[in-house]
């Protein structure tokens, strides 16, 4: 293992955004909760079962493209909605309408609450670059670039594969490995020479399905065992732990 906490064969590091680099996962969860609870309350009445911002978020929406998250969670409740169109307004009860509602709430929360990067993650990315390894950010978020710019770390990444790029290239989102594989290809490395850094269970699945050299699970919400079950080679609470001295 190198002093970066990854195998010597690793020449590129592929980082998820929300929950790994930036403190936005909790904001996403809150936006999803508000969106789904409003929909369920109108559909099922005051006795509806609320969206769980930890268990439901981790299992059904975290790391997935927005529309996939809508479909996945609603399927868990036995609900199927019309797909609608990508430009559906947020008040329309379709897959894309709920997705638009969630994105509007997310942007509002980011604007009012602000965004921060995890200091340990920034330190780790800088150490990775100082060691000569290539870097990429891989996110399902269509707001990825704006968030990177807002926290001042856009220039730390050689490649960005986000929701916008994935749509342009017709790449399926996590848990499929395609976005991570695209990042590796753009960096000019094989999966066997790249490490994946993720906090989402779907991201663990994607890292393992892509046969990457190493998959690091970042546990921000107390789900270390689940991250390991989904394929993490190691689990840390913060990426700075990987910089600690190793024998």
In which residue are the tokens 């479909």 written? 71
Number of Cβ atoms within 10 Å of the Cβ of 66? 23
The topology (CATH level 3) of 12-24+116-243 is: Rossmann fold (3.40.50)
Mean pLDDT score of the chain: 94
Q: pLDDT grade, residue 247 (50/70/90)?
A: very low
Closest CA to 25 of 147, 160, 186: 147
pLDDT at 245 over 70: no
Q: Are 205 and 228 in contact (CB under 8 A)?
A: no
Task: Record the tokens describing residue 174, joined without a space.
Answer: 């996590």
**Residues designated catalytic:** 16, 18
- State pLDDT tens for residues 105-139: 998 988 888 889 999 999 999 999 999 999 999 99
Task: Record the tokens describing residue 155, joined without a space.
Answer: 């220039």
Closest CA to 28 of 163, 158, 125, 159: 163
Instruction: Give CA–CA dist 14/81, Å, rounded.
Output: 34
Domain-wise residue ranges, the chain: 12-24+116-243, 26-113
């Amino acid at each position: 293992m190198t002093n970066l906490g990854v195998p010597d064969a690793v020449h590129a590091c592929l980082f998820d955004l929300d929950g790994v680099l930036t403190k936005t996962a909790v904001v996403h969860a809150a936006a999803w909760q508000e969106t789904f609870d409003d929909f369920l309350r109108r559909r099922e009445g005051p006795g509806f079962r609320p969206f769980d911002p930890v268990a439901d978020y981790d299992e059904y929406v975290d790391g997935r493209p927005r529309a996939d998250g809508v479909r996945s969670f609603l399927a868990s409740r036995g609900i199927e909605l019309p797909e609608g169109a990508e430009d559906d307004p947020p008040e329309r009860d379709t897959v894309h309408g709920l997705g638009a509602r969630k994105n509007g709430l997310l942007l509002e929360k980011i604007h009012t609450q602000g965004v921060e990067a995890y200091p340990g993650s920034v330190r780790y990315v800088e150490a990775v670059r100082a060691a000569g390894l290539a870097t990429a950010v891989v996110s399902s978020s269509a707001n990825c670039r704006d968030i990177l710019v807002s926290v001042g770390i856009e220039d730390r990444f050689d490649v960005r594969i986000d929701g916008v790029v994935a749509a342009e290239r017709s790449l399926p989102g996590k848990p499929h490995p395609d976005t991570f594989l695209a990042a590796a290809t753009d960096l000019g490395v094989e999966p066997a020479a790249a490490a994946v850094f993720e906090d989402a269970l779907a991201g663990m699945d994607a890292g393992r399905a892509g046969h990457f050299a190493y998959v690091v699970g970042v546990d921000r919400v107390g789900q270390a065992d689940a991250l390991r079950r989904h394929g993490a080679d190691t689990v840390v609470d913060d990426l700075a732990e990987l910089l600690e001295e190793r024998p």
